[in-house]
Amino acid sequence: MDNAVSGFSKLTKEEKINWIANTYFINPAEAIATLKQYWNNDAQLQQLHDDFIENTISNFYLPMGIAPNFLINGNYYSVPMVIEESSVVAAAAKSAKFWSTRGGFKAAVLNTEKIGQVHFLFQGDSGSLQSFFEAIKPNLLASTESITANMQKRGGGITSLELRNKTTELENYFQLHVTFETKDSMGANFINSCLEQLAKTLKEEALNYAGFNEAEKNISVVMSILSNYVPNCIVRAEVSCQVTDLAEKKIENPQEFAEKFVQAVRIAEVEPFRAVTHNKGIMNGVDAVILATGNDFRAVEAGVHAYASRNGQYSSLSHAKIENGVFTFWMEIPLAVGTVGGLTSLHPLVKIALEILGKPSASQLMEIVAVTGLAQNFAALRSLTTTGIQEGHMKMHINNILNQYQTTPEERKMIKSHFENNTISHAAVVSYIDSLRK
Ligand code: MEV
Q: What is the dihedral sign for C-alpha 274, 278, 283, 284? A: positive
- What is the SS3 assignment for 27? coil
Closest ligand 1 atom to Cα of 383: 10
Q: Which of 89, 280, 396 to mutate to test the pocket of ligand 1 (most atoms within 8 A of CB)?
A: 280
- What is the SS3 assignment for 233? coil
- pLDDT tens per residue across span 184-194: 999 999 999 99
Lining residues, ligand 1, CB within 6 Å:
85, 277-278, 280-281, 284, 380, 384, 389
Q: Which of 51, 85, 145, 391 is catalytic?
A: 85
Candidate from 22-26, 229-233, 390-394 with smallest mean pLDDT: 390-394
- pLDDT tens per residue across span 240-262: 999 999 999 889 999 999 999 99
- pLDDT tens per residue across span 118-165: 999 999 999 999 999 999 999 999 999 999 999 999 999 999 999 999
CA atoms of 306 and 314, how far apart (whole Å)? 8
CA atoms of 189 and 129, how far apart (whole Å)? 28
Q: Which of 284, 287, 391 to mutate to test the pocket of ligand 1 (most atoms within 8 A of CB)?
A: 284
Nearest CA to ligand 1 atom 4: 281
The model's pTM: 0.93
CA atoms of 275 and 158, how far apart (whole Å)? 35
Domains belonging to the chain, first-starting first, are 8-50 (no CATH), 64-108+236-387 (3.90.770.10), 114-227 (3.30.70.420), 393-437 (no CATH)
Reply yes or no on whether the pLDDT at 19 is more than 90: yes
Reply yes or no on whether the pLDDT at 16 is more than 90: yes
DSSP-assigned states of every residue in 365-403:
HHHHHHHHHHHHHHHHHHHHHTT-HHHHHHHHHHHHHHH
DSSP-assigned states of every residue in 77-88:
EEEEEE---TTH
Q: What are phi and psi of 297, to 5 degrees?
A: -70, -25
pLDDT, the chain, mean: 96
- Alpha helices by DSSP H, 184-271: 188-207, 214-217, 254-270
Q: What are phi and psi of 425, to 5 degrees?
A: -140, 160
Cβ(266)–Cβ(309) below 8 Å? no
Average pLDDT of 82-95? 96
Average pLDDT of 56-85? 98
Query: What distance in angstroms lies between residue 280's CA and the mean position of ligand 1's atoms?
Result: 6
